[in-house]
Chain A
């Protein structure tokens, strides 16, 4: 059981950055910075006597304060209601709530998943309690516009908070984040009447929401979905069909829920151009109160992970009276859904980084406490056994996890920061430029924490030895949870196609140009502060490699060989992700170097530098090989025949 200190870990200490001639002096919080604690964070480790920290406090402080400079983000007009102090206080509350309330409920919810009884899903009682608490805390509308009663915090901040909450108990938070996402769709695309009748109770936490896209025969290929919507002369449509894998699709937490459902209006064109978006309440509001709306959970999915979050099959219109209301224009459902898909995909990135983080901290604590064997030099069998951390191979397992976890956290926070900037930057062309970068990083953010995070979760089990694959220890459960993340919200294969086929190739590679500019700037900053020149050169080389490969693939497409261009899209995504995360490790190394110039022995920053060293030595070189496969259109799986398997 974790015991958490009161939220006192401050960002404000971070504002007294190490001297750096290339940067202006950071803004100073008038109340809190009179006595800056410059040597904090002195250690990356939680204080002794505390439980799993879920996510390192020092890392969040470092990323928000030094790397992503939340203070300057808060200067945007959209965030004028906020200050570093409110951000600090919100994160302190969330940190404490995650450790004291969410985390202790995690295993109980994992072991007693929801049940389908007489057509209704019953969730763990703790899920109900936690939902209400999360709503009271303001989590549901933390990043929503003030116009709809939200708190309008930057995504950078709410994503940092979500990292903690999802590391503690993804399932419990899932009901809230799904509701927020569904309500957001109505907010943006619904008319005033729908906003009043459906969105308001959702944002108030009285009703929940879901995203109902997938059907038994239409998952990755949503263009083939068949749920039908028949217009009536009363303003609503009648829906018929079946959806599956609907997270939070039924529960007994809230009195009602609203399914944001993709369906095809009778006579609509085939394919994606005939898909519309509907709001379908489970119980529709009438003058006599809520009445059953002919949509129900017809099956419960038995998942290996995130078991506390009910996933159901929904049946619409068995009795011909399932009423739905059109959200946005007819036949534009996919484009509405995809305008908010970024949000959902960043959220999956956060899930992935969170599941890897909590397991890493568990493994680290285990490795420090578990005596087994002796160092190579110690041949005395009567000497006491030493903690397994003394073994080089265990340090390999842990350092690789650290590189993935902290790289993944930096990636999701970077993407969240770009989402803030691409929405709220006042200058139009700059906003567009950052929007391109956001689009480019979104498939990376969705897939890297899921793919590499699974590897990190696996390594965390490895550290535990045989205990790792028992259910007596918690590490196996995070591995199970993580396994879902490369599948839902668009598989890794889909992300590869999105990155290469859509984001990279659009506007003759404009987005990659933007990324190149940003990376070049990072390299210059790194050089200026004296970060290892070889890392800078390596990143520069990798960037050129990405550029050349992209041009070669673009030429292939220009010659009409789109299939050849996309053949290695998954390899391209992997290589691209490695390079992007290397870039972020360089940024972290630069920020750490600034701190080390002041406090040369601070373990936290030495650890950052060492993890960066690891990433450049072992991970970045892999990108070249993968890019080579893309350029060569290496034919093994392209030419493989069914009969040869």
Chain B
């Protein structure tokens, strides 16, 4: 059995992001972390691999620094090997990422792809669904429990009304939710092993995706407008007047 997982790096949600002068992108002098949902995906893959003797592969897409997050976030935790697809992160959207993953699936033929349900930078929540569609595979998103039984994977999903349990036939795509598991910490032994684990470097060209364009373009980034200062009103009448004439909420 073979399991492919994603290891996307995202800007640290605690970090203060600075937008470039021309509003095209963020200043990359910022701390990054592994996407927390990808940590759940990695942990899921490791647990399934332990029970079902599977090979595990982590994929990261972006510039060279992405390798650090593949090693630290995935290989040091126990994922067997990594693949880094070199790409300009400004030139990626969910659609193109799904196409890259599809090409990798065709190259590696995994039985299962586990992704984070979304990345906490763009919050798009699209890649898993797009990938399943492109592959023509069944999908189970927002997983809070995953079990493999025979040629099916039994997934409990977190949905608005509560929990939904699905059986999907392998091969399949699963996206991990936060309550799926508690991701393990990378041990020192794991860190030492990670140094020697294979990490394949691929270009878009290697996947016959050279020249593919993203469908979504960032037009402009800007800071949210700040809240203006409040004013004191003399009495309730003035408040009602302002709510009616200025705020127009009454």
Contact = CB atoms under 8 A, between A and B. Distances in A.
Interface of A: 3, 5-10, 31-32, 34-35, 37, 39-40, 42, 46-50, 81, 83, 85-86, 89-90, 92-93, 96-97, 133, 136-139, 142, 151, 153
Contacts of A32: 65, 68
Nearest to B10: A6
A89 B14 contact: no
A551 B247 CA distance: 82
Contact of B195 (A49, A83, A136): A83
B29 A137 contact: no
A85 B195 contact: yes
A5 B33 contact: yes
Contact of A151 (B33, B69, B192): B192
Interface in B179-208: 185-189, 191-192, 194-195
> Could you say which of A8, A35, A142 has the most chain B C-beta atoms within 10 Å of its C-beta?
A8
A86 B16 contact: no
B15 interface: yes
Contacts of A151: 188-189, 192
A421 B244 CA distance: 76
B60 interface: no
Contacts of B191: 86, 89-90, 93
- Which 9 pairs, one residue from A and one from B, show the smallest C-beta to C-beta distance? A138-B188, A6-B33, A47-B14, A89-B191, A5-B12, A49-B14, A93-B186, A89-B72, A8-B31
A37 B63 CA distance: 15
Interface of B: 12-16, 28-29, 31-34, 36, 39, 63-65, 67-69, 71-73, 76, 185-189, 191-192, 194-195
Contact of B73 (A3, A6, A40, A138): A6
A138 B189 contact: yes
A437 to B, nearest CB: 29
Nearest to A29: B68
B12 A81 contact: no
A183 to B, nearest CB: 17
Contacts of B29: 37, 39-40, 42
Contacts of A81: 192
Contact of A89 (B12, B31, B186): B186
A93 to B, nearest CB: 5
28 contacts: A5-B31, A6-B12, A6-B36, A6-B39, A8-B12, A8-B32, A8-B69, A31-B67, A31-B68, A32-B65, A34-B64, A34-B65, A35-B63, A35-B64, A47-B15, A47-B16, A49-B13, A83-B195, A86-B192, A86-B195, A89-B191, A90-B191, A92-B186, A136-B187, A137-B185, A151-B189, A151-B192, A153-B188
Nearest to B27: A39
Contacts of A136: 185, 187
Given A3-B14, A6-B34, A31-B64, A90 B195 contact: no
A139 B187 CA distance: 9
B64 A90 contact: no
Nearest to B188: A138
Nearest to A37: B29
A90 B193 CA distance: 12
Contact of B14 (A31, A48, A93, A139): A48
A92 B14 contact: no
Contacts of A49: 13-14
A283 B59 CA distance: 49
Contacts, number: 88
Contacts of A8: 12, 31-33, 69
B210 to A, nearest CB: 22
A48 B15 CA distance: 7
Contacts of A42: 29
A595 to B, nearest CB: 15
Contacts of B71: 85, 89
Given A85-B195, A138-B188, A142-B188, A7 B14 contact: no
A93 B189 CA distance: 12
Contacts of B39: 6
A142 B29 CA distance: 32
B205 to A, nearest CB: 20
A8 B186 CA distance: 13
A96 B33 CA distance: 12
Nearest to A96: B185
B188 to A, nearest CB: 3
Contacts of B15: 5, 47
A9 B188 contact: no
A9 B12 CA distance: 10
Given A42-B29, A47-B14, A133-B185, 15 more contacts: A5-B12, A5-B13, A5-B14, A7-B72, A9-B31, A31-B68, A34-B64, A34-B65, A35-B63, A81-B192, A85-B68, A85-B195, A138-B189, A142-B188, A151-B189
Contact of A97 (B28, B31, B185): B185
A216 to B, nearest CB: 40
A39 B13 CA distance: 20
Nearest to B189: A138
A142 to B, nearest CB: 6
B202 to A, nearest CB: 16
A50 B71 CA distance: 25
Contacts of A31: 64, 67-68
Contacts of A35: 28, 63-65
A138 B187 contact: yes
Contact of B188 (A37, A47, A90, A133): A90
A40 B28 CA distance: 11
A138 B189 CA distance: 7
B173 to A, nearest CB: 24
> Could you say which of B76, B185, B194 has the most chain A C-beta atoms within 10 Å of its C-beta?
B185
A81 B31 CA distance: 27
Contacts of B64: 31, 34-35
Given A3-B14, A142-B188, A89 B65 contact: no
A3 B13 CA distance: 11
Contacts of A92: 72, 186
A93 B16 contact: no
A136 to B, nearest CB: 6
